[in-house]
Structure 1
Amino acid sequence: MMVGDVLAPVTGMVHFVNSSERHDGISNSVRRPSLVMVSLVSAWHTFIFLHAIICCCWGVQAEVEPPPSNWDYLIFTQEWPQSACIAYKGENSQRACEIFSNVTSWTVHGVWPTKAGTKGPHNCQKLPFDLEKLRQIEPSLLMRWPNIYAGKSVYSLWKHEWLKHGTCAAELPSIGDEHDYFALGLHWSATYQPLSVLETAGVRPGADRFQWAQIRDALTAHFSTKMIVDCELDRETKLWYLTQIKLCLDKSFVPTDCHNKSEPISTACPAEGILYPPIIPTPVPVLKPERTEKQESGTEQEQGTVPGKTPAKEELVEIFTIELSKNEVVAPTSRWYSWYRMSGRPY
């Protein structure tokens, strides 16, 4: 709204007062607004001017300063792929998983800003997901932060995690975009990897069943913090599986006790009989060449381009290994491929 538009009612009011004075027989040409009215108009001008300055300054400040943080700490969640797959299929027998064969340890589920005593917040800022910012670390993400659920885009998990949790974590100056957020998760995956910690305590993937105390004591001795451990029940077999391990970190990324808890938390883990199954990679189908048709002359000729066979997972893993051994973070995208792309899955 322009200043003139705001002053129009005041000007009209002054004119209205002058017009109403015609009834007492005094000419309108000799009437002037009273001193009080002039003072009111002057005060109104000053108010509008100051209000405009305040609004302008406030708008600039709102654009420069990040939104206020409304969470207390980060929950770094890692999942055991095979157990997560069993739990996923247990909810619906029609579901399936695809575990890439270079996935051999605990993988990242998410980095979740959390307010003590509750969940969330979620979807804090309108920051759209930009896949291009992840291209350099995509090989590592496919290995350490993969989407194991069949029928879904390889990128759908990353998009979900960024929009729901990353936009809240980005309130920290050290997390500016998707690259920072996901690189942080990859770094923590290497730093706080539970696989060797549990193995040292005799808790190894296999057919054995473990006690909750074994898992708890191993994590407590190594990480020296009060963590969260998730177990899930397979409703069909009535067996319990170790599924997730959650570590809490403060805003300076220092491990801290998960709030309001006196010891590592067991979310439904039984005292004994916990399974920790070995990871079984999902077989990849090999695409056969397209069928050929005989021409009128009786000879065979391939119709169109024959795609040949799709590289097996072992071949893809070898490509990943070569590139990641050169540089853990940056790998040329022309040398590696995602099975999801090769099988024609949408991004």
Structure 2
Amino acid sequence: MWRLFILTIVCSTIATSENSRISTRDWDILIFTQSWPNTVCLQWKEKYENHTCLVPIRKNEWTIHGIWPTIYGTHKPGYCNTTWKFDESKISPIEDELNKYWPNIQNGSSETSLWEHEWEKHGTCAASLPQLDGEMKYFKQGLAWAKKYSLTDMLSSSGINPSDGKYTVQDLVDAIKSSTNKNPAVECMTDKETGEEYLLEIRICFDKKLELIDCDGIEPLQQGLLTNCAPSKEVFYPSNVPPVHKKPPLSDNIIREGNAKKQKISYLDTLLRIITFLQWLTL
């Protein structure tokens, strides 16, 4: 009996030590990131031609990417406790909700791969807060924030809706700020072939008391805006997954012309070498 009691105390002490490797002093702010599924899908499909996407259960609604404890001006910390692995059983009671609000859109990867990544990279750092010191608390907080701070509703209330039209980054920032009274950050994806920019993510920020604050300081300002988008350009908020633009494959004629040019250059190069050699012999 005593042996069991002592073993329990030792295991508890080890677990507490493992789960306390990082303190709240090691980061400054919590970034709550939500993604626009249509652009996430485009990003996924651009990587490989055979990639497909899973349609979210909640159509035309933003989805959760994650809660990220962050040091101002960096993308750190991450993977704060590599021994604290994701355990799906810990969140099984809320899995249906997670599939609605926090789905993995990338078809071909496991259903839980996004949750696993977010917990192991970010959740283990957020766990230095008592309010987030476990998988259930971490994921439930994301669900609570997604419901309270619906980006679909915030943007729509300012007349910004998914469409084939474009909006300025300032329009997007103003729409979120009018609902939260705090500065958000706006992230875009740029189509490498067309140069067009698509709305990818919007981030709102919280302090260690889980109170909403400005996101100022999480990244450099561009024309007074927290964004990686080009402030001077308008941004697509696509109602459907945009088409993937890739450079067309070279035609057979172009390939043959290219090979012929290479052969011609090779022939001229050989001829020049012969002439140079003959000149050297006559010296």
The TM-score, its normalising length taken from structure 2, stands at 0.72
Q: Quick check: 1:220–1:264 contact (8 Å CA) kept in 2?
A: no
Instruction: Answer yes or no: is 1:76 the counterpart of 2:32.
Output: yes
Q: Quick check: 1:117–1:259 contact (8 Å CA) kept in 2?
A: no
After TM superposition, the structure 1 stretch with the greater mean CA deviation from structure 2, 86-95 or 142-151, is 86-95
Specify whether residues 206 and 173 from structure 1 end up closer, same or farther in structure 2 by C-alpha distance, changes over 3 A only. Answer: same
| 2:52 corresponds to | 96
Q: Quick check: 1:230–1:269 contact (8 Å CA) kept in 2?
A: no
Shift of 1:93: 2.9
Secondary structure of the structure 2 residue equivalent to 1:100: coil
Shift of 1:237: 3.6
Shift of 1:273: 2.9
Counterpart Cα distance in 1 of 2:54 and 2:102: 13
Greater RCO, 1 or 2 (C-alpha within 8 Å, sep 6+): 2
Secondary structure of the structure 1 residue equivalent to 2:131: coil
Alignment of 1:124-135 (within 5 A): 124-125=80-81, 126-135=83-92
Alignment of 1:1-347 (within 5 A): 63=17, 66-67=20-21, 68-69=23-24, 70-125=26-81, 126-260=83-217, 263-279=224-240
Look up the equivalent residue of 1:271 and give its one-letter code.
S
Q: Write out per-residue CA displacement over residues 23-62 of structure 1, whole angstroms, 9 at most, x where no aligned residue.
A: xxxxxxxxxxxxxxxxxxxxxxxxxxxxxxxxxxxx89x8
Structure 2 gap segments, 5+ residues each: 1-12, 242-283
Specify whether residues 121 and 250 from structure 1 end up closer, same or farther in structure 2 by C-alpha distance, changes over 3 A only. Answer: same
Secondary structure of the structure 1 residue equivalent to 2:72: coil
Shift of 1:264: 4.1
Counterpart Cα distance in 1 of 2:114 and 2:151: 22
Look up the equivalent residue of 1:278 and give its one-letter code.
S
Q: Write out per-residue CA displacement over residues 177-203 of structure 1, whole angstroms, 9 at most, x where no aligned residue.
A: 111100000000011111111111111
Counterpart Cα distance in 1 of 2:173 and 2:146: 19
Larger Rg: 1
After TM superposition, the structure 1 stretch with the greater mean CA deviation from structure 2, 243-252 or 62-71, is 62-71
The TM-score, its normalising length taken from structure 1, stands at 0.60
Secondary structure of the structure 2 residue equivalent to 1:174: helix
Q: Write out per-residue CA displacement over residues 280-306 of structure 1, whole angstroms, 9 at most, x where no aligned residue.
A: 6xxxxxxxxxxxxxxxxxxxxxxxxxx
Counterpart Cα distance in 2 of 1:240 and 1:268: 7
Shift of 1:64: 9.7
Shift of 1:217: 1.4
Counterpart Cα distance in 2 of 1:273 and 1:221: 20
Counterpart Cα distance in 2 of 1:274 and 1:209: 5
Q: Quick check: 2:169–2:229 contact (8 Å CA) kept in 1?
A: no
Percent identity of paired positions between Structure 1 and Structure 2: 35
Tell me the number of residue pairs that the alignment of Structure 1 and Structure 2 aligns. Answer: 223
Specify whether residues 212 and 147 from structure 1 end up closer, same or farther in structure 2 by C-alpha distance, changes over 3 A only. Answer: same
Cα-Cα RMSD: 2.4
Look up the equivalent residue of 2:110 and give its one-letter code.
S
Shift of 1:155: 0.4
Look up the equivalent residue of 2:117 and give its one-letter code.
H
Counterpart Cα distance in 1 of 2:143 and 2:226: 24
Look up the equivalent residue of 1:66 and give its one-letter code.
S
Counterpart Cα distance in 2 of 1:227 and 1:247: 5
Q: Quick check: 2:169–2:186 contact (8 Å CA) kept in 1?
A: no
Shift of 1:176: 2.4
Structure 1 gap segments, 5+ residues each: 1-58, 281-347
Q: Write out per-residue CA displacement over residues 211-263 of structure 1, whole angstroms, 9 at most, x where no aligned residue.
A: 22211211122211121100111223432111100111001011112233675
Secondary structure of the structure 2 residue equivalent to 1:181: helix
Secondary structure of the structure 2 residue equivalent to 1:267: coil
